[in-house]
Amino acid sequence: MDKIKKFFSSNIREISLIIVMIAIAFFVEFRSGGNFFTGENISDMLTETAVLAICAVGMMTVMVTGGIDLSIGAVMALSAMVGGTVLKNNQSVPTIAIVLISIAVGIVCGFINGTLVSKLRILPIIATLGMMNIFRGITYLVSNGSWVMQQDMGANFLSLATGRVLGVNNLIVIALAVYIIAAFFMTQTRTGRKIYAVGNSEESARVSGIKTGRTLTMVYTILGAIAGLGGILYVCKYGVAQGETCTGYEMNVIAACVLGGVSVNGGTGRVGGVLLGAVLLGILNNAMPLIHVSSFWQEAIRGLIILLSIIANSLIQRNVEMKALRRRNI
Amino acid sequence: MAKNITKQVMQSDGTRIISAERGFSWKRFLLQWEWMLVLMLIIVNVFNISVSPNYANVKNILNATRDFLDKAIVVFPMAFVLMLGEIDISVASIMALSATIMGIAYQAGIPMAGAICIALATGTVCGLINGVILVKFPELSSMIVTLSTQIIYRGIAQIILETNSVGGFPSWFTQVAAGKIGGMVPYVLIFTIAEALFFAYLLHYTKFGRRCYAMGNSVTVAKFSGVKTNKIKIIVFTMAGLFSAVAAVYLASKMSSVRPDVAKGYELDIIAMAVLGGVSTSGGKGRILGTALAILVIGYLRYGLGLINASSQIIMIVVGALLIIAVAIPSFRESVGNANWFKKLKSMAAKSQGT
């Protein structure tokens, strides 16, 4: 019994998210007349969410250190544009090479961000705000203002987003792989634990012998790599790469992390929570058209639900802390 | 050695210096960030003059301000928000929402002056909501709260106007943006200067400003010293909302129409201007003079790049690079100062002087 209680109180955030999700899902199921819980719809929804979920786990590593990366949308656009341009010039390049090129571009971008933050000690929000402009500008320069269209990409590359492994869409498989690796990395490896240590207190992490600068550079580079992967998958899914790709995407990614319980002050955040946050956003995006919410209303409702769930979360958290305090007094 | 007793002195810009004497020092005076901005402003203007011979006349220089002062109106209250160590991402959405509500109020037959008042009230309420949520839930960071209200406010504007736009404002209203005193000085420039003076007074010469600095340095310390931190937080966020609405009115007058997607992405430009002006996003640092100079630097830089027909992507890259370089310089100086080789060099120099 005690174990159950302990499990409940230490996972309160995740459990409350799941409850919210189930509530929304059943509401939509009844309102749409049974269109939500169909295999096809669930598969569609998860495919739509996969890219966001992949990016969110990268953002989590940065936010755990107390940083933030506003340039993720621009990095996605730039790396996808580079990959797309290579493909446009030569469609016979294998898909895996295109993905690797995009990831490489992302790594370079992320490394620049990380260096600015760790070596020059610029506040992450400022450094990545500036780099966002620069990366976005370079994206336009690379593309020369032209778009990479579906026919430029070739069926071979596009099949990456439509193909299936054991009946599950490739994007979902990739996202799951990323999450398994991330969960292992963040909880089971020394490097992963160092990230949390830096986020809790950079000073004490440094004193206890962690190379904080190297850790900071690393998390931004990881995010860059993940943004590169996310960017090329995004372009593959929607079949067009252009200068405006993923404008404002950083806010979606940050919202997914925040919903998943990652604190912007650093030190807290779990891979599982982030996955739930991303899926919750995915459910919202998928559910509103299903119950015929006018597209003009969708944005406001989404914002309201994000705000309400953050507030509800902090109320629950307060309650839990209060109870813990009371227990201590007795 | 009474002379060497170190004293912590809080300067009028909130930076605390540890100095043996409080008096005037040329070194400190010349190392201020504002000189850097003045230098940048000179470079930008020399560049502008060199690319266009027509640039260098007073009328033109004054007229150019009309292009970038819509953002400038919000930069000063944003500087206050940043000074508290908070951030407000929702300002651009507040602009869109209050412009939208002004538009439909006018369409519904309310006279223009009344519609403007309604817009200002809308902005104030939006800012107030941000402030109240932050005060009620101090564990939520302002970035997250304003991130979600940003989505909500623009979402409401979209619900109201869908994809339509409202135009046909009375001619005196469109004259507000186009009008100039004596055919030279745009009204908006006068307004912004007055606003800058007001905020400079508020920040540097009132108890309120001092308390803002204190809160930015440490909320807990400020609270225990008797500062009503919640009240100040609400006031500052409400101010940001109100001035966003003012900027929205100006923007509507300049474009003579209102759309729900107006001012998209302005929040990041506004924050960039404040940061370039030396306001620290971690709070407790910054001056209105620097902010005003930064507005001019970025504004004229954009104008000049427009003169040489630079594409908007080049402008993006230049502004982004400027922001990073500007922030990197002080920390670069610091990191060189803390580097081991530099310390060794310094101590060697001191030794050789001593002998």
Confidence at residue A129, expressed as pLDDT on a 0 to 100 scale: 84
Q: Under 8 Å CB-to-CB from A36, ≥6 apart: which residues? A: A25, A28, A29, A287, A290
Confidence at residue A329, expressed as pLDDT on a 0 to 100 scale: 63
As a whole number of angstroms, the distance between CA A265 and CA A271 comes to 17
Give tens-digit pLDDT for A98-133.
Answer: 899 999 999 999 999 999 988 888 888 888 888 988
As a whole number of angstroms, the distance between CA B214 and CA A256 comes to 33
Residues 281-300 of A with CB under 8 A from B: 296-300
Confidence at residue B263, expressed as pLDDT on a 0 to 100 scale: 82
Q: Determine if residue B311 is left, alpha or beta; phi over 0 gives left, psi from -120 to 50 gives alpha, anything else beta.
A: beta
As a whole number of angstroms, the distance between CA B75 and CA B343 comes to 39
Per CB-CB distance under 8 Å, the chain A contacts of B149 are 303, 307
As a whole number of angstroms, the distance between CA B83 and CA B236 comes to 10
ipTM for the whole predicted complex goes beyond 0.90? no
Q: What is the DSSP string of A288-328?
A: HHHTT--HHHHHHHHHHHHHHHHHHHHHHHHHHHHHHHHHH
Smallest Cα distance from B133 to chain A, Å: 9
Q: List C-alpha distances in Å: A109 to A29, B130, B203.
A: 42, 34, 38
**Domains of chain B in sequence order:** 37-327 (1.10.3470)
The answer to whether B33 touches B330, Cβ cutoff 8 Å, is yes
The answer to whether B173 touches B112, Cβ cutoff 8 Å, is yes
- Among B275, B313, B320, the residue with its CB nearest the CB of A140 is B313
Number of domains observed in the structure of chain A: 1
Suggest the residue from B152, B160, B282, B322 to mutate for an interface test with chain A (most A CBs closer than 10 A): B152
- Among A129, A248, A307, the residue with its CB nearest the CB of B272 is A129
Whether A30 has a pLDDT exceeding 70, the answer reads yes
Which amino acid, one-letter code, is at A292? H
Instruction: Output phi, psi for A169, to 5 deg.
Output: -60, 140
**Chain B residue at shortest CA distance from A139:** B313
Q: Under 8 Å CB-to-CB from A116, ≥6 apart: which residues? A: A122, A127, A131, B324, B328
**Which carries the bigger pLDDT value, residue B133 or residue A168?**
B133
- Among A121, A130, A311, the residue with its CB nearest the CB of B323 is A130
3-class SS of residue B181: strand
As a whole number of angstroms, the distance between CA B273 and CA B296 comes to 9
Tell me the average confidence (pLDDT) per consecutive run of 10 residues in chain B, 355 residues long.
44 51 66 82 87 79 83 93 90 93 91 92 95 90 86 91 84 82 84 93 91 90 90 94 94 88 83 86 85 91 83 82 80 67 75 68
Residues 220-249 of A with CB under 8 A from B: 243, 248
Suggest the residue from B298, B311, B317 to mutate for an interface test with chain A (most A CBs closer than 10 A): B317
Which residue in B63, B51, B55, B57 sits closest to B309, CA to CA? B51
Residue A4 lies in a domain: no
Q: pLDDT class for A31, splitting at 50, 70, 90?
A: confident
CA angle A100, A110, B329 (to 5 degrees): 150
Q: How far is CA B21 from the centre of its chain?
A: 33
3-class SS of residue B242: helix
Give the DSSP letter of residue B87. Answer: -
Quote the tokens at residue B34.
């504002």
Give tens-digit pLDDT for A170-224.
Answer: 888 899 999 999 999 988 999 889 889 888 888 888 888 888 889 999 999 999 9
Q: Does B337 touch chain A (CB under 8 A)?
A: no
Q: Does A120 touch chain B (CB under 8 A)?
A: yes
Residue A3 lies in a domain: no
- Looking at chain B, the number of H-run helices and the number of E-run strands are 15, 6
CB environment B304-317: b (16+ within 10 A), e (fewer): bbeeeebeebebbb
Q: Cβ–Cβ of A303/B150 closer than 8 Å?
A: yes
Q: Cβ–Cβ of B139/A134 closer than 8 Å?
A: no
Q: How far is CA B264 from the centre of its chain?
A: 17
As a whole number of angstroms, the distance between CA A237 and CA A240 comes to 8
Sign (positive or negative) of CA dihedral A147, A153, A157, A163 = positive
Confidence at residue B335, expressed as pLDDT on a 0 to 100 scale: 64
Facing residues of B17 across strands? B9
Whether A313 has a pLDDT exceeding 60, the answer reads yes
Per CB-CB distance under 8 Å, the chain A contacts of B137 are 311, 314
Which amino acid, one-letter code, is at B5? I
Confidence at residue B12, expressed as pLDDT on a 0 to 100 scale: 52
The answer to whether B83 touches B212, Cβ cutoff 8 Å, is yes
| Average pLDDT taken over every residue of chain A | 85
Distance between first and last Cα of chain B: 22
Alpha helices per DSSP H over chain A: 2-10, 12-31, 39-64, 72-89, 95-118, 124-143, 150-162, 170-188, 190-200, 202-207, 212-238, 249-259, 271-290, 295-329
Q: Which domain holds residue A73?
A: 14-262+270-324
Q: Cβ–Cβ of B282/A123 closer than 8 Å?
A: yes
Confidence at residue B22, expressed as pLDDT on a 0 to 100 scale: 56
Q: Under 8 Å CB-to-CB from A274, ≥6 apart: which residues? A: A53, A56, A57, A60, A256, A257, A260, A261, A262
Q: Under 8 Å CB-to-CB from B221, ≥6 apart: which residues? A: B214
Residue A43 lies in a domain: yes
Suggest the residue from A129, A294, A297 to mutate for an interface test with chain B (most B CBs closer than 10 A): A129
As a whole number of angstroms, the distance between CA A57 and CA A230 comes to 11
Residue A8 lies in a domain: no
Residue A227 lies in a domain: yes
Give the DSSP letter of residue A267. Answer: S
**Chain A residue at shortest CA distance from B136:** A311
Q: Cβ–Cβ of B271/A129 closer than 8 Å?
A: yes
Whether A259 has a pLDDT exceeding 60, the answer reads yes
Q: Cβ–Cβ of A68/B311 closer than 8 Å?
A: no
As a whole number of angstroms, the distance between CA B227 and CA B211 comes to 7
- Among A126, A141, A310, the residue with its CB nearest the CB of B313 is A141
CA angle A19, B143, B232 (to 5 degrees): 115
Residues 137-176 of B with CB under 8 A from A: 137, 139-141, 143-145, 147-156, 158-159, 162
Quote the tokens at residue B236.
């500052």
Confidence at residue B324, expressed as pLDDT on a 0 to 100 scale: 85
